[in-house]
A and B are shown apart, each in its own frame.
Chain A
Amino acid sequence: MTYCYHVCICLFLIIVQTTVMPYIPLFKGFYDLLTPFFIYLSIFRPLRESIPVILFFGFVMETISGGTFGLYLTTYLWLFIGVRWVITFLHVGNNPLLPFIVVAGVLMQNFIFVGSSVIFEPGLRFTSEMSITIGVQVFWAIFTGPMFLMFFNYSFGKWDKRVKEISSRKVDR
């Protein structure tokens, strides 16, 4: 049931960012919505739960996006490793730190995407347009990233509670 929750959330986020957000000019240049979800998994969920979800939806993102195969998987796995490492010495359940974690994740993703383009395509220049795109993503990440994390944490808590209630009722019968 836990995987069911993760799959539903990931599918919902992918659908929103590929079909709903392109119609809304305000959200042009919004960051990858799976980034805060995978940060949430890295901080709050165990390894055996997080890794299969990250690998599967990393692969899904590879197939629906036009980038070099492996970019999303690279980003998500390094994000996971990075966040896991950070939580060994920082108490990130602490709310004031959440925006920085999401911003760091968004910056890392952009760094990998732009870096791979620059490495594999000689002659490609870093333009002002690129810095604007990154700036807009960081702006959105600062304000909405912590909200996403808190929402995921809250909704999973509710889901888990509901699932436990249903299963205990079955046992009582």
Chain B
Amino acid sequence: MVLIVGVIVLITVNIILLSLFNRRYISYYGPGRIAISIVAPFQKATSTSIRFVRDIWRHYFFLVNASKENEGLRKDLNRAFERNVQFKEFELSNARLRNLLNFQKNITDRVLAAEIIGKDPSPWFKTVLIDKGKHDGVEKGMAVVIPEGIAGQTTEVSAHYSKVLLIIDHNSAVDALVQRDRARGIIKGGSAGQCIFKYVLRKHDVVVDDIVVSSGLDGVFPKGLSVGYVSGVVKPKSGIFQEVTVTPYVDFEKLEEVLVVLNPEKREFEKEK
């Protein structure tokens, strides 16, 4: 009887503690940073070795297919060249319009390249460790992107390493909108590498294949970065929201390098101080 009561009390205390930790942000400055600093160098050394071996394999043993691939790539390059000329025209007009609208931000000036050195040990959580930290200018809450779209945001920063919460984690939230319809909602992590676009009003005509971009209203991700495309829409008979599933453009299984969007204004301000 005493044993059963003891176990029930322990479980209750355990749930209360977990609930407290879940509601309040726990800063890992101190021992937490030391723990990351212990593990991360080994992770970096291992992942660098794996990439080295894989690159040797790709460069020297896969040369048989390289000539065929080269021909195909040449054709692609010619097509890409034509498209590039068109895009340059768009870029110039875009730059003019941006100046006209007093857009001062330019994402290409404010990014820091980082390598992924470790993934989350549990399949239930989606975080990665990158090899850039506080000494490189990374701070907590900075957007992490790749050319395909948004990857996540930094949640822990140690001296040389940072932890990134990916947008497919169920703790992640990104303020986003549908590019065509401007329907606004919150992108949350779902299951099977997909995201759920929550709080989208039923009145909006969201359809499959619509592109979802960041709204910039969360103060983390710059406006207009692609998140993914709509892969499923369910309009329930009752309720004010519709259920929208979004497939991210980023392939998180193959994620190796990322760009951290820095905050130049803040850094300049700190220098002035």
Contacts and interface: CB of A to CB of B under 8 A. Distances in A.
Query: Bound pair: A and B?
Result: yes
Contacts of B54: 23
B147 interface: no
B256 to A, nearest CB: 10
A129 B191 contact: yes
A65 B156 contact: no
Nearest to B169: A66
A28 B171 CA distance: 21
B122 A67 contact: yes
Counting contact residues on chain A (CB < 8 A from B), the size range is 35 or more
Contacts of B125: 65-67
A70 B129 CA distance: 19
Interface in B190-232: 191-192
Interface stretch (B18-26, B94-102, B262-270): B18-26
A116 B18 contact: yes
Given A23-B50, A63-B28, A66-B169, A130 B21 contact: no
Interface string B128-157: 010000000000000000000000000110
A118 B126 CA distance: 17
| Chain B facing A: main interface SS | mixed
Interface residues of B, number: 42
Given A66-B165, A66-B171, A113 B28 contact: no
Contacts of B119: 18-19, 22
A22 B120 CA distance: 9
A153 interface: no
Interface of A: 11, 14-15, 17-20, 22-23, 28-29, 32, 34, 59-71, 74, 78, 110, 113-114, 116-117, 119-121, 124, 127, 129-130, 133, 137
Which 9 residue pairs of A and B lie closest in terms of their CB atoms, listed nearest first?
Answer: A66-B127, A66-B125, A18-B118, A129-B191, A63-B35, A69-B21, A19-B46, A68-B22, A63-B32
